[in-house]
Amino acid sequence: MNIGINSRNIADLHPAVAMGCRELIRRMSEEHGFFVGVSSTYRDRAFQDHLFAQGRTRPGNIVTNARGGQSIHNHMSPRMSLAFDIFLNIRGQEWSNPNFFATAGRIWVEMGGEWGGNWLSFPDRPHFQYTGGLSLASLQTGAGLPLEAKMKWELVSEGNEEADEGVTEMRFNKLEELPGWALPTIEKLVLGGWLQGDEQGNLNLSEDMLRMLVINDRAGLYD
C-alpha cells in the first residue's frame, strides 16, 4: 500500500529552514544536552491524508487537523518544505518530555521561526516552521519563499560579531554532500568547467554561495 512520501531529510527543506534546523539541533545538543531527531520535513499530499486519517478512519490518536495541501509540510515545490517535525532521540522518550519541546520551541521562536506548540486551536509541539510571513493560503496559490531568504538568527549573526561566536558555517566539498536543491546546478557548473575544486577536489562552498549560484543558474547566466 502506497501511503505517500514522508521525508526525514533536512536537504528537502528550503535552504533557510534547513540552516535553521541544523542550528536548532546544534544549540539543543551543545547548550541543553538534548539530542534531536527529525521525523518529517517534506510530505506529499497523499501522506498528509494518511496522517489525517489516523484517529478517524484508521487506528491511533488524532495527530493533525490538516488534510493534504493544508499543511506547511506540503508546500514550497519541488520538495522544499518550510516545516519540520522533531523528537527526542532517546528510545521510549521520543514524545513524552515536555521540557524538550518547550526548550526547542523557545529557541526556534528566538531564531525567528514559528513553533506549533504555541498554537491555540491545535497545539503541535513537534512542529517547527518558517514561512517568511507567507500564509498557508498564499502558498496554496503558488507563492514561494525566495531562495535567498534568511531567518532572523542568520541575519543577526552576519551583522553581529558576538552573535557569530560558536556558530560554524557549514561548507560543502563533495557533490554527495550537497543539499538536493543545489545539486543539479553544482553538477552542471562542475561538468561545464564553471567550478573547479582545490588540489584535493574540494569545492569549499558555503550555503550562501550555493544560494547565489542556484539563483544565477535560474536566471540563465550559465546557459
pLDDT tens, position by position, 143-155: 889 989 999 999 9
Residue 187 in domain = yes
**pLDDT score, position 112:** 94
Low-confidence ranges of the chain (pLDDT < 50): 161-168
Report the distance separating Cα 149 and Cα 107, nearest Å.
Answer: 20
CATH number of the domain that 144 lies in? 3.30.1380.10
The per-residue DSSP string of 24-54 comes to HHHHHHHHH-PPEEEEES-B-HHHHHHHHHB
Same domain, 14 and 72: yes
Same domain, 115 and 33: yes
Give pLDDT tens digits for 28-63.
999 999 999 999 999 999 999 999 999 999 998 998
User: Within this chain, do residues 67 and 175 fall inside the same structural domain, yes or no?
Assistant: no
Cα–Cα dist 88/132, whole Å? 26
Residues 31 and 128 in one domain: yes
**Residues 111 and 182 grouped into a single domain:** no
26 in a structural domain: yes
CB 43 within 8 A of CB 6: yes
Looking at residue 161, its pLDDT comes to 43
Prior bond of 78 cis (ω within 30°): yes
| Total of domains in the chain | 2
Residue 148 covered by a domain: yes
The answer as to whether 210 is a domain residue is: yes
* Residue at 35 is within a domain: yes
What residues make up the domain containing 179?
A: 171-218
Q: Is residue 69 part of a domain?
A: yes
> What are the φ and ψ backbone dihedral angles of 38, each rounded to 5 degrees?
-105, 120
pLDDT at residue 169, rounded to an integer: 54
Distances (CA, A) of 127 to 29, 32, 72, 79, 203: 18, 19, 10, 18, 34
Question: What's residue 177's pLDDT?
Answer: 77
- Claim to verify: residue 52 and residue 103 sit in the same structural domain: yes
What pLDDT, on a 0 to 100 scale, did the predictor assign at position 88? 97
Same domain, 23 and 47: yes
Distance (Å, whole) CA 24 – CA 42: 18
Domain boundary among 129, 155, 181: 155
Q: Are residues 182 and 107 in the same domain?
A: no
CB-neighbour burial class of residue 195 (10 A; exposed 0-12, middle 13-18, buried 19+): middle
